[in-house]
A and B are shown apart, each in its own frame.
Chain A
Amino acid sequence: MTVNEARGMRSVTEAAREVAIRAGAKPRRWGSWYVAEHRIRSMRSYLRTIIATSIGNPVVYLFALGVGLASLVDRNVGAGGVQGVSYLAFVAPALIASAAVTVAAEECTYPMMMGFKWNPIFYAMNAAPISGKQIANGMIISVLVRMVPTTIIYFAVMLAFGAVPSLVGGLLVLTASLTGIAVGLVIMPYTASIQEDKGQMAMIQRFGILPMFLFSGTFFPLSQLPVYLQWIGWISPLWHGTQLGRVASYGLAEPAWLTAAHIAYLAALGVVGWKLTQRVVVRRLNK
């Protein structure tokens, strides 16, 4: 091989290398959003169900609990109400947080399990320039994309029912979303690691979400529970989210440190869950 040939060889590889490095820049920066974009396209096929449940859910719950149960509770509790507000106002922050949790739990479960196995799109994304971390991020973004509007609709229905004393209660959209994503991110590393569907989703619902819903100061203040059961509330993200919502909605009186603790706890769960999810996804893709 002559020197010129050798030089020619080098420059061909060199050129291909340059092209590759330039082409990698965009997916490196925007990959997470491309993944979310893909998921949103998939959601379009069940958009009607999403909209119907987003509106139907709050209407049914607020009507049954807020109007039906509330009239009974308010009659028995008397003029002071629960924590100084009507039962409807008391229960509403818990309901909106639970709604966010339900949607997040759903979106953090099936799509994660599917993406590795039954509809293994994660491997396809990864064979393209998308990294495992970006897949995790994109899935999380798509959870938010579905959950936040659901929460906003919930809030609108709550307003219509007169369940929010003041417009400052708009903060409920934030507190509920934070609660939802925190719970979702606790579930996600687990669902991302599931190899076989043995009804884990139903288990999460039955032994995770449902008890949490019942024992998180949702329908009655946590202090009403016997002391030996109150710990369920303290570790429950839903309790922290609900209390935070009550502070936001009707100014529930609690020490400032406790409010800060609610936020810190939810944020910590979220960050740990997020990082763990990334790790699980990266490991699982690298076979």
Chain B
Amino acid sequence: MPAPVITATSLTKKYKEFAAVDGISFEVAAGESFGLLGPNGAGKSTTMRMVGAVSTRTSGDLSVLGLDPNHFGPEIRSQLGVVPQADNLDQELRVRDNLIVYGRYFGIPLRQISKKADELLEFAQLSDRAKSKVDDLSGGMKRRLTIARALVNDPKILLLDEPTTGLDPQARHVLWDRLFRLKEQGTTLLLTTHYMDEAEQLCDRLVVVDKGTIMAEGSPAELIRTHSSREVLEVRFGSERNAVVAERIAGAGDRIEVLPDRILIYSANGEAELVKLTEAGLDPITSLVRRSSLEDVFLRLTGRSLIE
């Protein structure tokens, strides 16, 4: 494994008595793509801010590129590209000028950043909007501009806090492709997400975070293998019958999970489970057999679904 570029040990952030991040430890290797997966309020953004050297940790140790953020904030940040959860572009400036001023913060000479800005606009498919006011862009365009902006300094590490929230499916796939290319060029990615498919697509390794602590860690495949079954049978009986049926099939599969609108039956063979159900005379309104996903891992670990 290559050298870690981020090392967090018992990293903690408290707001008064409340621990938003409660002693988490992880390492991210150079060139790796590492995800923080968790529900609202899990402490993902707080962790990102600490790694981004803008928020001081309450306790624990943190090293980014071998430097302590408490003492080397500007140095660390000179090597990061940051995509915050909420866009913070300058609405008063035009699209291209946003990239220019941002590049200047890293001390990049005007002429150089000028060229870079055009490349990045191309990358973000915003070349024809270079002179638009940021205010006039759509949400997805703003997001793309924010991501382009994070690349002005050719960052070693890219911190992406819910990068694709608010993007349409096509834009998401384009972005995944771009991120994948950056990863191929050796950029380390640290990202947070609510989306399972995103985590499965982008992350080599991830941690599931809940209430400021790490619930599980591993590659998406490992996590699914360890904490779920190969397949899942989803059946709906209508909201009234769900609970009643659930009692009758209590032993089915490896495990069952009762949600307000459906029942999930975890098993190596979903089809077989469905046959058993029909044989027992229980006819679901709808049924679906699918591969197990990180969503299931999350449900298993926390007893809650990821997106409420």
Residues of A whose CB lies within 8 Å of any CB of B are 8-10, 12-14, 16-17, 19-21, 23-24, 26-28, 30-31, 34, 37-38, 41-42, 45, 119-121, 123-131, 285-287
Residues of B whose CB lies within 8 Å of any CB of A are 2-5, 30, 49, 52, 54-56, 65-67, 72-80, 82, 84, 86, 88-93, 97, 100-102, 104-107, 149, 153, 156
Residue contact A128 to B77, C-beta cutoff 8 Å? yes
Residue contact A13 to B75, C-beta cutoff 8 Å? no
- Which chain B residue lies CB-closest to A26? B107
- Which chain A residue lies CB-closest to B105? A128
Residue contact B72 to A120, C-beta cutoff 8 Å? no
Residue contact B93 to A16, C-beta cutoff 8 Å? no
Which of chain A's residues have a CB closer than 8 A to the CB of B100?
Answer: 41
| Interchain nearest-CB distance for B92 vs A (Å) | 5
Which of chain B's residues have a CB closer than 8 A to the CB of A129?
Answer: 73-75, 77-78, 105-107
Which of chain A's residues have a CB closer than 8 A to the CB of B107?
Answer: 23, 26-27, 30, 34, 129
Contacts A123-B84, A285-B54, A286-B54: A12 and B30 contacting too (C-beta < 8 A)? Answer: yes
Residue contact A131 to B105, C-beta cutoff 8 Å? no
Which label, helix, strand, loop or mixed, suits the secondary structure of the B interface? loop
Q: How far apart are the CA atoms of A251 and B102 in the complex, in Å?
A: 48
Q: How far apart are the CA atoms of A55 and B82 in the complex, in Å?
A: 43
| Interchain nearest-CB distance for A142 vs B (Å) | 13
Residue contact B72 to A34, C-beta cutoff 8 Å? no
Q: How far apart are the CA atoms of A19 and B82 in the complex, in Å?
A: 18
- Which chain B residue lies CB-closest to A21? B75
Give the one of B72, B74, B149, B153 with max A CB within 10 A: B74
Residue contact A13 to B5, C-beta cutoff 8 Å? yes
Some 21 contacts from A to B, beta carbons below 8 A apart, are A9-B3, A10-B3, A12-B2, A20-B67, A23-B75, A24-B76, A24-B77, A24-B78, A31-B74, A34-B107, A42-B90, A45-B93, A120-B88, A126-B54, A127-B84, A128-B82, A128-B102, A129-B106, A285-B54, A286-B55, A287-B55
Which of chain B's residues have a CB closer than 8 A to the CB of A41?
Answer: 93, 97, 100-101
Residue contact A16 to B72, C-beta cutoff 8 Å? no
B5, B54, B92, B104: the one contacting A16 at CB < 8 Å is B5
- Which chain A residue lies CB-closest to B46? A287
| Interchain nearest-CB distance for A130 vs B (Å) | 5
Q: How far apart are the CA atoms of A41 and B94 in the complex, in Å?
A: 10
| Interchain nearest-CB distance for B88 vs A (Å) | 4
Residue contact A16 to B90, C-beta cutoff 8 Å? no
Residue contact A286 to B106, C-beta cutoff 8 Å? no
Residue contact A119 to B101, C-beta cutoff 8 Å? no
| Interchain nearest-CB distance for A1 vs B (Å) | 9
Which of chain B's residues have a CB closer than 8 A to the CB of A12?
Answer: 2-3, 30
Residue contact B65 to A38, C-beta cutoff 8 Å? no
Q: How far apart are the CA atoms of A123 and B90 in the complex, in Å?
A: 11
- Which chain B residue lies CB-closest to A37? B104
B56, B67, B73, B88: the one contacting A131 at CB < 8 Å is B73
Q: How far apart are the CA atoms of A45 and B134 in the complex, in Å?
A: 14
Give the one of B2, B56, B65, B156 with max A CB within 10 A: B65
Q: How far apart are the CA atoms of A20 and B93 in the complex, in Å?
A: 29
Residue contact B104 to A34, C-beta cutoff 8 Å? yes
A9, A20, A128: the one contacting B65 at CB < 8 Å is A20
Q: How far apart are the CA atoms of A121 and B80 in the complex, in Å?
A: 17
- Which chain A residue lies CB-closest to B146? A124
Q: How far apart are the CA atoms of A127 and B79 in the complex, in Å?
A: 11
Residue contact B101 to A20, C-beta cutoff 8 Å? no
Q: How far apart are the CA atoms of A265 and B77 in the complex, in Å?
A: 39
| Interchain nearest-CB distance for B18 vs A (Å) | 13
Q: How far apart are the CA atoms of A130 and B101 in the complex, in Å?
A: 12
Q: How far apart are the CA atoms of A38 and B131 in the complex, in Å?
A: 17
Residue contact B49 to A287, C-beta cutoff 8 Å? yes
Residue contact A13 to B66, C-beta cutoff 8 Å? yes
Which of chain B's residues have a CB closer than 8 A to the CB of A38?
Answer: 90, 101, 104
Contacts A42-B92, A119-B92: A23 and B101 contacting too (C-beta < 8 A)? Answer: no
Q: How far apart are the CA atoms of A37 and B104 in the complex, in Å?
A: 9
Residue contact A121 to B54, C-beta cutoff 8 Å? no
Residue contact A20 to B52, C-beta cutoff 8 Å? no
Residue contact B79 to A9, C-beta cutoff 8 Å? no
